[in-house]
Amino acid sequence: MSEQLISGRLPVLALRGLAVFPDQTVHFDVGRIKSVKALEEAMKHDQNIMLAPQRDVVDDDPSLEDLHAIGTVARVKQVLHPQGENLRILVTGICRARIQELTQTEPFLAGQVQAVPETEVMDSTQAHALRREANNLYGLYCELLEHPAQAVQLKMLASSDCGFIADSIAQNSGIDYSEKLKLLTQLNPVKRLEMAVRFLRREIEMLKIETQIQEKTKVNIDQNQKDYYLREQIRVLKEELGEGDDVDEFADYEKNILKLKLPEESEKKLLKDLQRLKKQPFGSSEASVLRNYLDTVLELPWNVRTKERIDISAARRILDADHFGLEKVKQRILETLAVRKMAPEMPPQIICLVGPPGVGKTSVAYSIAHSLNRKMARIALGGVRDEAEIRGHRKTYVGAMPGRILTALIQAGSSNPLLLLDEIDKMGSDHRGDPSAALLEVLDAEQNRSFRDHYLEIPYDLSDVMFITTANTLDTVPRPLLDRMEVIELNSYTDEEKLMIGKNHLLPKQMKKHGIKKTQLRVTDDAIREIISCYTRESGVRKLERCFAEICRKTAMAILEQEDPKRITVTGSNLETYLGIRRYLPDRLPGSDQVGLVTGLAWTSVGGETLEVEVNVMEGSGKLELTGNLGDVMKESAHAALSYIRANALKLGIPADFYKTKDIHVHFPEGAVPKDGPSAGITVCTAMVSALTGISVRRDVAMTGEISLRGRVMAIGGLKEKTMAALRHGISTVIIPKDNERDLEEIDQTVRKALNFVVASHVDTVLETALNRRSEIPAAILTDIPDGVKSKARKPSIRQ
């Protein structure tokens, strides 16, 4: 095609990243102010404008030196005003031209333009071959690009101008901007077409490589996974270039796994899972599960240990500072530490601290951890019913996680911590399994070296972990589990121990917590004793601490309300001002000895209690009525007592046919409180004998013991708590089974000095001691009692 040569003064529009060729129609956006002004100037006249490509596309205000040597004179065909500040124009190139000089730079560029004619060449076979090659390559290019350009191809096929074909290829292909500028500068049509063919051939090769990359990535991916598609393209590109990411996620996983130096079986399993993770498509649920699993495994403290400190003297100081009393418990713990020091290779003993609420079981565990310099984690087992809570869930389940044991190890951050299994007696079981059975492996020193959590799936060594469990009672702890633990009992505090604990520990703690100084509040010993006896009824000291907190709150109010604050003194007489009316009245003995009324002793979860037994005998047909919310064991004890009385009625001075002519009603007051256990057997028997014979019972005598059909007095439990309850009640003599005589050594010295203890192996000794007047006792009883027992009955003595 022949070019129309245009010269003269024209407005100049600088192009960034774009080149326009003669006889080519192009649309592009115009946004710079000078470019818009130049466009407006062209539209006012003949619509011709000089399009000059910039050398540096970043330059926003180019000069003549910043423009390419050769540009294109074009005619503006159309101007559109879309939304926004830019204009969209359609232009057609006319001829190549060179800017001689810039005659104007403001408000737009304008210059003297000189058309540059092409070099004339003769048509030849080479030129014809070049045109054919160019057309074929451009057709292949359009096929690879999947972008039909039929109009352009038809014009190229119809033309015999090498320059036009070269310009069409440059304008309508994706060759680089720098290469387009070279084509724009080349004035020889044949040479320009040779360059265009060469550039186009290289562009086709690049398209083929891109197509191969796309085909490789499409084999393993879903078309809808756009993110994965892009990542796969990057990966394949890196493979083609021989480049790799030295520090990526998978390399970090592998490095951390090898750093753990696990046994071969475990290491092989983790590396296998890592290989599975590498093969997972991006965003798949399986990849998320594997990542969470590997993160959890690497988070475990496999080789992290704290240096254990076994100093008996330091441990004794820590225990004495944190806890008052509990001498037997402290001694037992120190013995355990001593064995640990003498035999470090021996697995740590599993200790079970058993006692009523509030006596310091959990705080003792914290003191042990402090003295050993071990990190500690607490696992609350109260209400746990699912075996998976201990062993974890298999990772195939949604939301799976490791069990509480491994979670506690992660929390502690050490492989040799002290784990406190709190409230082990309050675990349950249902259709999901029995968590106590899962604990059998955890608490067995021979098995926990290779503990397998369902989530972890590889063995973990728990042999260095020191386990301490707590419980309020052992009745609900399975026997196999109990067999694995060393039981240490923490008994109820005596009133004197509570006084010292409250005075030296709890009251200063609450005063500091409430911001009260020692000069602002004083609580007398009498007031503390009143709080213990009339406001709290517990084995531990939790309610006592809450009472101190209430006193501190009211003291703070009183101090702030006074203009001239004075020291507040709390005594037994003004205690109700701070704590309200007394919740519990002091236990009082009956005013006189009564028939059929006997004081027994009972153990509860909050300590010992006195338990009165009332018996009435009425004319009837021999019925036995038992009331007071009694359990089956206690009812059986009452029947056993009645059977003994029937078998020995004549010896006891009771009519032999009383079980036919008399109705007996046995009642335990406070019927809302459930009662059970066999230890009230001798109490019921004594009350029945008293009611049937009319002999009164000494009101200062209390008793506890199980009775057999032969009248034997059998051993009971909870003697320490029961004797403290007897002392609070004002009892002076306590009858206990002969088999419990050895337990007197564990009773507080204050209680032992205040009470007389009578040991009995047979119910005859109980009757001899408890019935009030010897003149009322049938002679048959005294003749059948052994001499040694008679002497005991005449003068009760302390059995130590």
Mind telling me the catalytic residues?
A: 679, 722
User: In the 8-state DSSP scheme, what is residue 502?
Assistant: I
CB 554 within 8 A of CB 570: no
Q: What is the β-pairing status of strands 466-471 and 351-354?
A: parallel
Q: How many other β-carbons are positioned within 10 Å of the β-carbon of residue 675?
A: 18
Distance CA 227, CA 229 (A): 5
User: In the 8-state DSSP scheme, what is residue 424?
Assistant: G
The number of CA neighbours under 13 Å toward the Cβ of 239 is 11
Distance CA 310, CA 318 (A): 12
Could you check whether the bond before residue 107 is cis, i.e. omega within 30 degrees of 0?
A: yes
* 3-state secondary structure at position 641: helix
Could you tell me the end-to-end alpha-carbon distance of the chain, in angstroms, rounded to an integer? 132
Q: Which two tokens stand for residue 60?
A: 């926003």
CB 213 within 8 A of CB 240: yes
Distance CA 601, CA 608 (A): 7
How does 56-72 read in b/e, with b if 16+ C-beta sit within 10 Å? eeeeeebeeeebbebbb
Amino acid at 10: L
Q: What is the β-pairing status of strands 607-619 and 418-422?
A: unpaired
CB 443 within 8 A of CB 463: no
Q: Which two tokens stand for residue 567?
A: 């020291």
CB 638 within 8 A of CB 651: no
The number of CA neighbours under 13 Å toward the Cβ of 530 is 17
Q: Which of 33, 109, 41 is nearest to 71 (CA)?
A: 109
Calculated CA dihedral for residues 124, 130, 132, 133, nearest 10 degrees: 160
The position carrying tokens 């004998």 is: 689
Distance CA 45, CA 36 (A): 15
CB 664 within 8 A of CB 615: yes
Give the gyration radius of the chain's Cα atoms: 50
CB 89 within 8 A of CB 80: yes
Beta bridge partners of 377: 419
Residues sharing a CB contact under 8 Å with residue 800, sequence separation 6 or more, in sequence order: 744, 745, 752, 757
Calculated CA dihedral for residues 135, 139, 142, 144, nearest 10 degrees: -130
